[in-house]
Amino acid sequence: MVSRLKSGKFWLKLLAFGSMALSVTVAGLYIALHQAVFSPERLHQAGASALAGTGRTLRFDKNIGRTWFPRPTVTLNNVTLSGTGHTQNVHLGQMRIGLAWSSLLGNPSIEKWVINGADITLEQNSEGKWNLQELWQNRKKSGISVNRLIVENARLHILTPARQHHLSEINLKFTSNGSQSHSFTINGKADNAHLKNLRWEGSGTALAAPNGWRLPDLRIAAFAEYRGNPVNLTAAGGAQWHDRALSLNKITANLHSPLYQTHISASIPAAEWKNGLFHAGAIDSIINARRYETEWSGAFNINNLQLSPSQIDAGRATLSAGGTTHGKTATLNISSPVSWQAAQGWQLPDLKITTRQDQAQTDGGPRFISTLSGNLSGSPEGNWQLFLSGLFDRQRASLKAAYTRENRTLQAEAGLNKLAFAPYLKELQNESRFSYPRFLTGSDRIQINALLLLDNLQLPNLEVNRIKTRLQADNSNITLSDFSAELYGGTTTGSLHIENKDTLSYHLQQQTKGIQVLPLMRDLLRYNSLAGTGDVSFDFTTKGKNRRELTQNLNGKLNLKLQKGAWIGIDINNILKQAAFDQTESENKSTPFNSFTLNSLIQNGVGSHQNAELVTDRFYILSSGSLDLSKLLMNENMLISTTNGEAAQIPLNISGPVDNPSVTLNYSGLTRGLNTPQEKQKALADTLREQFNLFSQP
């Protein structure tokens, strides 16, 4: 025996017979692999059994790859689940199915199933039915277990009547942890019109349950870019697929982005999707954000939500929000049941709105204090109607509005009982630049035609009553027409027209009767030197980006006809007494008058007039001159005479700042024709004393 082991012939024979046996074995295995295990007939038979009742058949190329190691594996190329009639094909790409070795001795078991390059389109019709739903609704139990399922580089296109979603580079690993438990990871990319580089991933455990699956620890994350800033979304919770229904429980989600330091958190205690209808008892979310010096926070809640492709119903949706900026704190609360139907549009039948902005008392105190209720409805064409009534700044208010999308026109009627303007005035005064409203000029610009009614407007030194006007606005013009009001103790009518050019231009026309002119001139032209009651009319045009430019570019006409007033800052009696006797009578700088008439032509912010008339009980003044409204500088040349004409006229020049002008006598006018200084001085003194004595007579 030992000699045989040492014999070369023995080893040669053993090698020859071993090689022959191995070749026979390999050939047998190859034949078995081709004919018994992975023959085309058996593969088609297995596919037909799995797809029975779906109307689809399994197709693949003839070049089938087969290997024994590391496990019996078949490779199918260009695998397609072909449809019949109107159904679409399902392209699964390349498929590698590796059987467990135990499958050769007993029940078949797939150790590793790899699908590479699948391209699937999932489409929903207008009735809510999916094109592939027969594949999961008629699922057959094959009895074949799968240990590992791997999907590589797949694409999924989800098409609904409302929108499309395209997922790519999908990778899935599905691993069995036992007879009923499986773990999985999945990731991929998605196309989105607003988010760049959108990637998503998920993981969890899938437990086999009667008629479905249970996912107790589902985790989902998404990463993208928005306006150059990263956006991260994470979600976690439990899910269960059973009886063709998807149930969700204890879902939490968080979104974070450095853009405006945005953070959103949401929770859904329980929800279900079944027969195309999504139902959630409650959805709660919290929003926080910050931009520069402004901070926002809010909560959005939905109760009893039912959602389908053609209908939305919510028992009540509530938005509670607040913001803080530059010492001002604002709050907003909007609440209403919500109803939407694809064919009829949407309804907010019990809309409630409350607002408030708190600011320091030095800035005017609280404002935008509203408690309003009403309804809002919209049509599928994009038209909507709004009605609100209640309180604004603690006063009765109402608003009716209707929007037509076809011509982007808003028709409205707004009414308010009283508005105290002090809380809003300081901010307007601090506004250094006037600009055209953006909502009238952008790509989504609208046109406005509104009737505005305000019973009482309270300004710091003025009350305006019974304001009525029509607002018409578009991307080119803003017009307040048919304006009427009771103000400054009288009435006014007129219009304001604003034209949207490179520099805004304005056209203001007013006719007032029985008004107090001092507050009017102060508010309109910052001129505080004229008081009285009467009629005022003006027709102004101007352009500019701020108040200074508006004043410098002011052109037009101003007509005054006043009674029982005063010229503030000028005391003619004292001027004459000082000239005649070198003494003053009082510190009261004003000249009361019975009537005053002026017709002024304004050019580039400078008003000029000829023969303005001022009449008092004792004297008559005829004046010509100019007033620079931008610099508030005046230059007046006057002729003062007694009302009975018994004394010579006194020529007077008043010039300088309107609040502190200088007064000089026209010396040459009084001494014309006299030669010596003594004659001129005596004539001047006699004239002044004569005039003053006449003015001083009772």
Domain residue ranges of the chain, discontinuous segments joined by +:
338-477, 551-696
In the predicted model, what is the mean pLDDT of residues 194-211? 88
Q: What is the pLDDT of residue 641?
A: 82
The H-or-E segment that residue 358 falls in is strand 345-358
- pLDDT category of residue 695 using cuts at 50, 70 and 90: very low
Distance CA 534, CA 563 (A): 6
Is the CA virtual torsion 340, 345, 348, 353 positive or negative?
Answer: positive
Q: What is the pLDDT of residue 692?
A: 47
The single-letter DSSP state of residue 37 is I
Average pLDDT of the residues of the chain: 82
Is the CA virtual torsion 519, 521, 525, 528 positive or negative?
Answer: negative
Q: What is the pLDDT of residue 65?
A: 83
Q: What is the pLDDT of residue 109?
A: 78
Indicate whether 679 pLDDT > 70.
no
In the predicted model, what is the mean pLDDT of residues 301-313? 93
Q: How far is CA 194 from CA 108, 227, 385, 595, 607, in A?
A: 48, 9, 30, 70, 56
Indicate whether 220 pLDDT > 50.
yes
Indicate whether 342 pLDDT > 70.
yes
pLDDT tens digit string along 477-528?
Answer: 999 999 999 988 899 999 999 999 888 999 999 999 998 888 877 776 677 7
Distance CA 615, CA 625 (A): 17
In the predicted model, what is the mean pLDDT of residues 238-242? 88
C-beta separation of 251 from 237 below 8 A:
yes
- pLDDT category of residue 426 using cuts at 50, 70 and 90: confident
More confident residue, 351 or 629: 351
Indicate whether 371 pLDDT > 90.
yes
C-beta separation of 63 from 77 below 8 A:
yes
Indicate whether 251 pLDDT > 60.
yes
User: What is the token pair recorded at 670?
Assistant: 């009084």
Worst-scoring range by mean pLDDT, 83-92, 207-216, 246-255, 363-372? 83-92
Write b or e for each residue in 622-654: b if 16 or more Cβ atoms lie within 10 A of its Cβ, otherwise e: ebebbbbbbebebbbbbbbbbeeeebbbbbbbb
Q: What is the pLDDT of residue 460?
A: 74
Sequence-ordered list of residues with C-beta below 8 angstroms from that of 12, at least 6 positions apart, any chain: none
Indicate whether 12 pLDDT > 70.
no
Distance CA 386, CA 371 (A): 15
Indicate whether 447 pLDDT > 50.
yes
Indicate whether 581 pLDDT > 60.
no
Distance CA 433, CA 264 (A): 36
User: What is the token pair recorded at 428?
Assistant: 């307007």
Amino acid at site 210: P
More confident residue, 456 or 422: 456
Could you give phi then psi for residue 383, rounded to 5 degrees?
-80, 150
Distance CA 586, CA 111 (A): 114
Residue in the block written with tokens 């005039």: 691
Q: What is the pLDDT of residue 635?
A: 93
Q: What is the pLDDT of residue 432?
A: 56
Is the CA virtual torsion 135, 136, 139, 145 positive or negative?
Answer: positive
Indicate whether 221 pLDDT > 90.
yes
- pLDDT category of residue 104 using cuts at 50, 70 and 90: low
In the predicted model, what is the mean pLDDT of residues 197-216? 88
The single-letter DSSP state of residue 472 is E
With vertex at residue 546, the alpha carbon angle to CA 545 and CA 547, rounded to the nearest 5 degrees, is 140
